[in-house]
Amino acid sequence: MPELRKDLVTREWVILAKERAKRPCDFLAKGPRSQAQPVPEQDPKCPFCPGNEALTPPEILAYRPDHSLPNAPGWQVRVVSNKFAALDHRGEPTRSEVGIYDVMEGVGAHEVVIESPEHHLSLGQMESSQVEKVIRAYMERYDALRKDPRLRYILIFQNHGEVAGSSLTHSHSQIVATPVIPQKVWAKIKGVEQYREYREKCPYCDILEYELAARERTICENDSFAAYAPYASRSPFEARIIPRSHQPCFITMGPKEVREFAEILREVLGRLYVSLQDPPYNFTLLNIPCSPNRVYDFHWHLEITPRLTTPAGFEMGTSIYINVTPPEDAARYLREASCPSPSG
Amino acid sequence: MPELRKDLVTREWVILAKERAKRPCDFLAKGPRSQAQPVPEQDPKCPFCPGNEALTPPEILAYRPDHSLPNAPGWQVRVVSNKFAALDHRGEPTRSEVGIYDVMEGVGAHEVVIESPEHHLSLGQMESSQVEKVIRAYMERYDALRKDPRLRYILIFQNHGEVAGSSLTHSHSQIVATPVIPQKVWAKIKGVEQYREYREKCPYCDILEYELAARERTICENDSFAAYAPYASRSPFEARIIPRSHQPCFITMGPKEVREFAEILREVLGRLYVSLQDPPYNFTLLNIPCSPNRVYDFHWHLEITPRLTTPAGFEMGTSIYINVTPPEDAARYLREASCPSPSG
């Protein structure tokens, strides 16, 4: 019998179709991904490779030796505006009406974080110290953008692999800041608020406590963070990384937490890389909205969604996902997987 | 400057990235789909082709001549249980708790509507009279399922093409009935309710009136229905078919409406087929929840979503979609496209 599981925060149900269950190796059926065509260490045509800095908009931020020139090789992490930005950083987010509809100028930010000078390494294969630099760049850009009074929400995310919507191989993540608070973010904020009203606790704190005691869905952990497969996982091998301490935004991390966040992110992505042979995935880093006037409660976290199945009409019409891999199986598989030693 | 447009019912924003705008022919870049490999009229291996009835579970409903035997050739439309059902029609939807989580037995229905005995025809290429039979089968099965007190919502949908999640070429749609009301359905019901409280009108009636006057986003229409590209379209060439009269459920259609619904559905899908060369798409038929105890207000409609772009991390984290084709352009293109003459 299949099972319906409810997400504690969003209240979305998920159908866990055990009868359709697949083993991890079934997801490899289409053949190994990364091994199919070895990726070179540098690609002369890649706009994110050192030497091609002129192919991107000028850098907004870069970690590079003191003596090196901006927009020239030598950098370790580089942040630039997205050449095909979905939102424009100029102008005011003026709202107006078009007949019965609401419309707003598409003001915001759309930046690209080039995570490493090395063309062939994904985040799960890099040295932890390199991932730490990426996290520092996220924090620095987040901090700058949240001070812009036109912006209401900042999402940091990564698309890895073509199936996951990435058009460039060279590992990069993106930062988009919007002049509105997205409905999906509202739903989570409201979920936290209502759970707290009812149980006088944060649902994420509750989940963390429960998962660390149950040990059925945990993947790995360290002093400051835990990674687990959510009870109502929408897709096979979904994983969540969450800080042990209740904080609404990742920006408050201290040096130890930054290091440990980098370590656990690298570890979870590395285990996915090895055990599912470099699957396509998206990750999203979820924080509170930016708001000078109102304080929201939230427990920040990062969600990793491998793209191993195709959401279709049923998911579109209901937002109920059909998941063929129990998160308990996924977590066990990832726990038992080896983590690649960094090739950086 | 990009534009943010707000959906009147769900309040979800959409980013219309005009600077990234694509012309319709850009979506054909990957090469024509249907022409690439001509589909045969019959496929001896296809479980949905006449003669292969034994390869599916026994039929629940079939339109066939009086003298013909069940589960044998001769049918025009055939409904069977999904062989790999996501929900089980047996048992009770018992709810229980697993630690802090909610879980429910996966009780429901999962049926497949085989739309035609002909292997190679998609809904947009069939005779209207054949599409009408498909709609009648939807209505008959919907009516049977809504009487089952265990079920709360019934979604009828179609996945067309591999990219849209379809694993079989032979044209078919699916019916899934769930023992819960999906959150996404709640959001629309609530959107209608709140709009009505504020403006004393149904938002869909308002939209219909506005679109039929503005004529910027209309695709085609007949006595009972109109088809248009929604103002806040989430993806290129999104289309909505909606009855002119305010009805919460498609089940109340009279014979003329059924005929005209078949005609307009065939026409919109046919125009998509011709102008975008058989694009992958999903459609969902959205009605009120099944509820013996409570009356909901809704204005039923059908949504068609071509799968021409890949939603990625940004859409996952925010549910704000980035759309590169203004619905005004999409509607004009579809209006000007020819509609294929039926090849049935």
- With CA atoms as reference, the chain A residue closest to B307 would be A312
A181 touches chain B (CB under 8 A): no
Amino acid at B70: P
Residues in B touching A313 (Cβ below 8 Å)? 155, 157-159, 164-165, 174, 282-284
- Rounded Cα–Cα distance for residues A281 and A269 (Å): 9
Q: Count of residues for chain A?
A: 344
- Rounded Cα–Cα distance for residues B111 and B330 (Å): 33
List the Cα angle B338/B331/B173 in 5-degree steps.
75
Residues in A touching B304 (Cβ below 8 Å)? none
A205 touches chain B (CB under 8 A): no
A166 touches chain B (CB under 8 A): yes
Q: B314 vs A157: CB contact, 8 Å cut-off?
A: yes
- Label residue B30 by pLDDT band (50, 70, 90): low
B123 touches chain A (CB under 8 A): no
| B3 → closest Cβ in A17, A103, A159 | A103
A302 touches chain B (CB under 8 A): no
Q: Which of B210, B333, B344 is nearest to B266 (CA)?
A: B344
In percent, how much of chain A has pLDDT > 90?
86
**Strand pairing class (B101-105; B109-114):** unpaired
- Label residue A31 by pLDDT band (50, 70, 90): very low
Measure Cα distances from B85 to A195, A202, A263 in Å: 33, 36, 40
Q: B231 vs A101: CB contact, 8 Å cut-off?
A: yes
- Rounded Cα–Cα distance for residues B226 and B124 (Å): 17
Q: Which of A148, A170, A152, A183 is nearest to A80 (CA)?
A: A170
Q: Contact A132/A262 with Cβ under 8 angstroms?
A: yes
Cα-to-chain-centroid distance, residue B126: 17
- Rounded Cα–Cα distance for residues B39 and A334 (Å): 41
Measure Cα distances from B134 to A246, B54, B115, B145, B239 in Å: 53, 21, 6, 16, 20
Instruction: Calculate how close chain A gets to B67, using CA atoms only, in Å.
Output: 36
| B101 → closest Cβ in A1, A20, A231 | A231
Dihedral sign computed on CA atoms, order B55, B58, B60, B62: positive
Per the structure block, which two tokens stand in for B314?
A: 């940004």
Q: B183 vs A12: CB contact, 8 Å cut-off?
A: yes
Instruction: Calculate how close chain A gets to B196, using CA atoms only, in Å.
Output: 14
| DSSP per-residue letters across B274-304 | HHTTS--EEEEEE-PPP-SS-PPP---EEEE
Q: Which residues of A are catalytic?
A: 172
B311 touches chain A (CB under 8 A): yes
Instruction: Calculate how close chain B gets to A1, using CA atoms only, in Å.
Output: 6
Residues A226-270: pLDDT tens digits? Answer: 999 999 999 999 999 999 999 999 999 999 999 999 999 999 999
- What is the dihedral angle through the alpha carbons of A118, A121, A126, A129, rounded to the nearest 10 degrees? 30
Checking if the pLDDT of B162 tops 90, the result is yes
pLDDT number for residue A222: 98
pLDDT number for residue B98: 94
Question: Position of tokens 């009805």?
Answer: B247
* Disruptive mutation site among A100, A171, A282 for chain B (greatest number of B CBs within 10 Å): A100
Residues A188-241: pLDDT tens digits? Answer: 999 999 999 999 999 999 999 999 999 999 999 999 999 999 999 999 999 999
A69 touches chain B (CB under 8 A): no
**Mean pLDDT confidence for A25-32:** 63
Output the average pLDDT for chain A. Answer: 93
Per the structure block, which two tokens stand in for A165?
A: 């919507």
A295 touches chain B (CB under 8 A): no
**Mean pLDDT confidence for A165-173:** 95
Cβ-based contacts under 8 A for chains A and B: 226
- Label residue A289 by pLDDT band (50, 70, 90): very high
The sheet carrying A321-323 orders its strands as A321-323, A13-16, A3-6, B101-105, B95-98
* E strand or H helix that includes residue B164: none
Q: Is A317 exposed, middle or buried (0-12, 13-18, 19+ CB in 10 A)?
A: buried
- Rounded Cα–Cα distance for residues A26 and B149 (Å): 37
Q: Contact B164/B173 with Cβ under 8 angstroms?
A: no
| DSSP per-residue letters across A262-279 | HHHHHHHHHHHHHHTTS-
* Disruptive mutation site among A10, A90, A92, A101 for chain B (greatest number of B CBs within 10 Å): A101
Helix axes A203-214, A183-199, angle to 10 degrees: 80
Predicted TM-score of the model (pTM): 0.95
Residues in B touching A218 (Cβ below 8 Å)? none
pLDDT number for residue B27: 80
- Rounded Cα–Cα distance for residues A82 and B8 (Å): 30
Measure Cα distances from A117 to A38, A158, B126, B171 in Å: 17, 17, 54, 48
In percent, how much of chain B has pLDDT > 70?
95
Name the 3-class secondary structure at A300: coil
Q: A178 vs B318: CB contact, 8 Å cut-off?
A: yes
Checking if the pLDDT of A19 tops 80, the result is no
| A100 → closest Cβ in B165, B210, B310 | B210
Q: Is B176 exposed, middle or buried (0-12, 13-18, 19+ CB in 10 A)?
A: buried
* CB count in 10 Å sphere of residue A214: 15
**Which residues in chain A (85-104) have CB-CB distances under 8 A to chain B?**
85-88, 91, 93, 98-104
pLDDT number for residue A30: 57
- Rounded Cα–Cα distance for residues A320 and B298 (Å): 20
Checking if the pLDDT of B344 tops 50, the result is no
- Rounded Cα–Cα distance for residues A292 and A190 (Å): 19
Name the 3-class secondary structure at B137: helix
Q: Which of A125, A124, A162, A132 is nearest to A36 (CA)?
A: A162
Checking if the pLDDT of A68 tops 50, the result is yes
Residues in B touching A231 (Cβ below 8 Å)? 98, 101
* CB count in 10 Å sphere of residue A129: 14
Q: Contact B337/B275 with Cβ under 8 angstroms?
A: yes
A182 touches chain B (CB under 8 A): yes
Checking if the pLDDT of A344 tops 50, the result is no
Checking if the pLDDT of A35 tops 60, the result is no
Q: Contact A145/A109 with Cβ under 8 angstroms?
A: yes
- Rounded Cα–Cα distance for residues B337 and B340 (Å): 9
pLDDT number for residue B63: 97
The 8-class DSSP code of residue B39 comes to P
- Rounded Cα–Cα distance for residues B78 and B54 (Å): 13
Least confident of A151-155, A203-207, B89-93: B89-93
Q: Contact B14/B4 with Cβ under 8 angstroms?
A: yes
Amino acid at B171: S
pLDDT number for residue B31: 47
Q: Is B20 exposed, middle or buried (0-12, 13-18, 19+ CB in 10 A)?
A: middle
**Mean pLDDT confidence for B265-276:** 96
- Rounded Cα–Cα distance for residues A216 and A237 (Å): 14
Q: A185 vs B153: CB contact, 8 Å cut-off?
A: no
